[in-house]
Amino acid sequence: MPPSDDHPKPSMSSLKTGSLERSIALTKLGVGAGAKLVAHSIANIFRGEIDRSSADREFYQRQAQVLADELGKLKGSVMKAGQMLSLYGQYFLPEEAVEVLSELQDDTPPVDWKVVAPVLERNLGRSRLRELEIDTTPLAAASLGQVHRARRRSDGRELCVKIQYPGVADAIESDIRTLSRLLLMTRLTPKGLDITPVFHEVREMLYREVDYESERHYTEEFAERLADDPRFVVPEVFGEYSSDQVLTTSFEAGSHVRDETVQKLSLARRNALGNAFLELFLTEFFDWGMVQSDPHFGNYRIRVGARAGEDRIVLLDFGATRIFGRGFIEGYSEIVAGALAHDRERLRRGAQAIGLIAPGFNTAALDAFFGMCEAIVEPFAEAGDPRVAPALHNAKGGYKWGESDLPMRSSRIAALNALSVHFRVPPREIVFLHRRLAGVFIMLATLGCELSGREALLAALARVEAQR
């Protein structure tokens, strides 16, 4: 959880931690939102059926902000669950609902020190706490906890102390049930679609993110695997100041990717950073089967060096790390390889192997699916590929990530496919993998990179093939 770049927000003096009071707040919110949405016209919430007027869009935007603000005040698992549902929601919810859920970002108001201090004392003990000088104003506040900067008195070492909000783990089951009812009350899910598996996945992910012991393990694992790669910095874990509700690491300085110091770097240096970021993702998935699946910009910092070759990417927050099985990796590799080579039979075999499409897909549905897959690999196509607009490649064949509208085009294709009778909610692995993949694209676009990732991707696919 990174330092926030926003202006400080007023802190909250208390949290609704009881299941009853949280359920009442959520139900009240759901009834109000549902009534307004239904009154506005239930027929107008399904994408693609009619063109919305400017007034319609403004209405839903206002509703999105109200919902996001109110859920943000509740903190805890319901807000994080809303974020996760926005990932799945793009496949089966109307765009207004996705907008509501996507508004739930981890930049909510912090809570008062008096709320989290007892958690720290209970987990570490008073004698251990006396070794630290802790800034009671948080560096960052999110849905499940907040981070405070600290200094170890014995040697002046700068630390980050991540503290879980009290009661969030205990409220997960109740929050999931209530949020499920909220979706039903607002009548936003397509009739007949069973979203139980979606909530099972959200529940599992929530329990993973409140497991600070697991996050500690993955932080240490990434640090070990990247120890010899000077392009990356992973914080050091301080076990003596950590527990299942507290995680203390070294403080690692760096700038936001949008910071002027980063944006003013030469294209060559920005390309080097983008290439490192892309190669890290390819290594995580195809080689390790272990992916940090939360691409929030706050989870990365850029440490600008004195000269070219000395810039570093600081990696933060490994609570959303996911493990992928070799069978899934091999099937997904077939999809990517098939899309790159225009080999639709290979693409089909890979997609069926991981349950992305069913054997009964008709020709039209398959063509739409193939088209979507081939569009997604656009940045890895050869220069001169007729499927890629010539303006998206520079003179050296580098893909102009910042000038591409590929994410929007892909979303439109996915939205149209979602209306097909052959549509199914994709495997959970796909949702979180593509979450990170989208983050890679946005990172390279924000850096204004002009580079081809084709060779790196082909090398990763070859490594998978060699392991079969």
Residue 112 has pLDDT above 70, yes or no: yes
pLDDT of residue 433: 85
Residues 160 and 260 placed together within one structural domain of the fold: no
pLDDT of residue 212: 95
CB of 375 closer than 8 Å to CB of 336 = no
| DSSP character at residue 403 | G
φ, ψ (nearest 5 deg) of residue 330: -65, -40
**In this structure, is residue 206 part of a structural domain?**
no
Residue 34 has pLDDT above 50, yes or no: no
Residue 418 has pLDDT above 90, yes or no: no
At which residue do the structure tokens 């400080």 appear?
8
Residues 279 and 293 placed together within one structural domain of the fold: yes
Q: How many CB atoms lie within 10 A of CB 81?
A: 25
Residue 3 has pLDDT above 50, yes or no: no
pLDDT of residue 174: 80
- DSSP class per residue in 37-48: HHHHHGGGSSTT
Q: Which has the higher per-residue pLDDT, 183 or 446? A: 446
CB of 314 closer than 8 Å to CB of 303 = yes
Residues 360 and 418 placed together within one structural domain of the fold: yes
Domain boundary among 200, 233, 252: 252
pLDDT band at 369, cuts 50/70/90? Answer: confident
pLDDT of residue 39: 39
* d(C-alpha 288, C-alpha 464), whole Å: 11
Residues 174 and 125 placed together within one structural domain of the fold: no
Chain center to CA of 51? 30
| Mean pLDDT (whole number) for 134-156 | 92
Spatial neighbors of 408 by CB under 8 A, at least 6 apart, are none
pLDDT band at 35, cuts 50/70/90? Answer: very low
* pLDDT tens-digit series, residues 75-96: 556 666 666 666 555 555 656 6
Q: Could you give the number of structural domains in the chain? A: 3
Q: Which residues of 203-216 are buried (b: 16+ CB within 10 A; e: fewer)?
A: bebbeebbbbebbb
- Determine the residue type at 9: K
Whole domain around residue 302: which residue ranges?
Answer: 253-468
| Mean pLDDT (whole number) for 318-323 | 91
> Residue 148 belongs to a domain with what CATH number?
3.30.200
CB of 393 closer than 8 Å to CB of 450 = no
Task: Name the residue among 61, 71, 146 with its Cα closest to residue 104.
Answer: 71
| Mean pLDDT (whole number) for 192-219 | 82
**In this structure, is residue 13 part of a structural domain?**
no
**Encoding tokens for residue 75?**
């903190």
**In this structure, is residue 294 part of a structural domain?**
yes
Residues 225 and 346 placed together within one structural domain of the fold: no
**In this structure, is residue 2 part of a structural domain?**
no
Please compute, for residue 266, the number of CA atoms within 13 A of its CA located in the half-sphere on the CB side.
9
**In this structure, is residue 276 part of a structural domain?**
yes
Task: Name the residue among 74, 71, 81 with its Cα closest to residue 206.
Answer: 81
Residues 55 and 133 placed together within one structural domain of the fold: no
pLDDT of residue 365: 73
Judging by beta carbons within 10 Å of its beta carbon (0-12, 13-18, 19+), is residue 37 exposed, middle or buried?
buried
**In this structure, is residue 394 part of a structural domain?**
yes
Sign of the Cα pseudo-torsion (430, 431, 436, 439, in order): positive
Task: Name the residue among 255, 244, 10 with its Cα closest to residue 141.
Answer: 10
**In this structure, is residue 298 part of a structural domain?**
yes
pLDDT of residue 111: 86
Residues 30 and 140 placed together within one structural domain of the fold: no
Residues 121 and 226 placed together within one structural domain of the fold: yes
Residues 257 and 245 placed together within one structural domain of the fold: no
Spatial neighbors of 65 by CB under 8 A, at least 6 apart, are 103
| Mean pLDDT (whole number) for 120-145 | 92
Residues 266 and 309 placed together within one structural domain of the fold: yes
Proportion of the chain above pLDDT 90, given as a percent: 47
pLDDT band at 71, cuts 50/70/90? Answer: low
pLDDT of residue 72: 56
Residues 61 and 159 placed together within one structural domain of the fold: no
Lowest mean pLDDT among 32-46, 153-167, 268-282, 357-371: 32-46
* pLDDT tens-digit series, residues 428-456: 777 778 878 888 998 999 999 999 999 99
pLDDT band at 40, cuts 50/70/90? Answer: very low
Please compute, for residue 367, the number of CA atoms within 13 A of its CA located in the half-sphere on the CB side.
3
**Encoding tokens for residue 140?**
């960052």
**Encoding tokens for residue 55?**
């007034």
* pLDDT tens-digit series, residues 251-298: 999 999 999 999 999 999 999 999 999 999 999 999 999 999 887 788
Residue 103 has pLDDT above 70, yes or no: no
**In this structure, is residue 229 part of a structural domain?**
yes
| Mean pLDDT (whole number) for 349-361 | 84
pTM of the model: 0.80
Angstrom CA distances, 336 to 89, 133, 227, 344, 464, stand at 24, 50, 29, 10, 12
Residue 67 has pLDDT above 60, yes or no: no
Residue 161 has pLDDT above 90, yes or no: yes
pLDDT of residue 223: 98
Residues 25 and 120 placed together within one structural domain of the fold: no
